Structure 1
């Protein structure tokens, strides 16, 4: 990953611009990224998003496209439709208001084909001057399919790729960006590290000696790429700390710092959930870590730590960066099992393999 940033700097490539290709589902791809990493068009978008999220590149919005909600292709056509039957076969007609008798109707009702005059169908008087005899307050639409008359049409959509038909709001917005190097790009290349502590990013959870969520996500991404390259796995332990109190929480963090290995990373998010990442850890090592922390908390509380819910994941990367946000995946799994456990202290072990 760092080699790519170095490539941008050495080749004096200040901007990574997307190129349109009608054959692609999203419609845009980044040739420089696809060529360098030998990945497909979708992965190119994800790689650049990761760089941006970790402040290695800046970006600028250049287009917003709409994707079909079914097949996620950009080949979407928006149509004005009859609000009653959704037909696109309707005609527009001016509305005439006759001042003298107050009748309102379509212009076709007033036109006399024989005399080419405008005659009110209600009172029979001839309408000669707009503004004096009549006005045109609005335009109406008449559906040729169901004969429904309406003022405003609705907007529908049809996908040319899968033929999905629905309302315009069903379409999914997708933003297209161009990316540029920034001040952090050179720092990363110079340091040969994505370590967020060198990028001017706050890395610690305020008041506690552990990483915050942003820094943890950054490091997790790096370890994920390493695991993918070497065929390893990453273990992540998550548990809630909201019932511990500040004093016990600090003691727990200090204890984890004592028992963890050098490559292990400890973090706490804004809700108080603790995360521990263990690269290249066996199942036994992960379970031993959980057991030690649970026993430590129980000793301090002088009771069982049942109110602390532990959850563990074993992440085995598959094809390059197919998971858009690994941390979100872990949180979703934690929330799912927490809800199923009714808050009881349960150990979960899962393996996430990318397809």
Structure 2
């Protein structure tokens, strides 16, 4: 039986900004761009009380919360704080799976600190993070990764929640399917149409029935609804792609403007690839979002790339829009993960 802790910083980027600028502490704030096409990275809990959320367009956020203060992100600072947080993790275990700069799974199954109590270790870890950074963290403690991740949300902010092996059955049965990783709004709506709202509903069914509704996701959904998740904490998370994209201040339709965008994005993509120690690639691709928010992408296999290599893919993707103007363009590289040389956390720190 594993002992897993999921540590999740509380509104991390926004918390850093409030710490470094105390006059923001009592105001609704968000981190991100403030332009007409900007999207928020995150926001503090006061802003969330108005309905503001991460990945929300800044214009909509300001409509919901007219007093919202939007501050530009400082990624170098966030990465520096993330390093400090991970140094705390390593005081307890080397079995760490980073999910992002501000959250990670820790396997403390065989750790003897705190008498072997994962609950007490989580408490100590959160206290040390606060002492080191002045930032609060929440934690979930459980026998599996997916339950620990859900549990870390139960007592946010600055709290923790424990699901013991004996509690798994009851905890999972009462869960809304929206809390299951992989069940987004559209999937939840589709499941709800067939009467599946909670894990208890799924338990009464079968993978075969679910497959007709959600396809290959059926078995995973069925297992998680029974509290089954045997995935180990993975210390070698491999990044599968490197990408850059930009939402335009104004839609464009001229081919020359799109080519200019490709040239600009290519330089940024090249820099990220170089900072990742030039991993071998297996494909290149272009992503395009049109003015009606429909999204498409075009890819092909490649072992090398330059700016010109993306142009045929751009034309292929844009042609699908049938003369629609373009609001976003992105470039990405598919990485050869068989080599195992591209560590996810390293890339987050280096980009």
TM bin, normalised by shorter chain, reads: under 0.3
Higher strand residue share: 1
Structure number with higher helix proportion: 2
| Larger CA Rg, structure 1 vs 2 | 1
TM-score (structure 2 length as normaliser):
0.23
Normalising by structure 1, what TM-score? Answer: 0.23
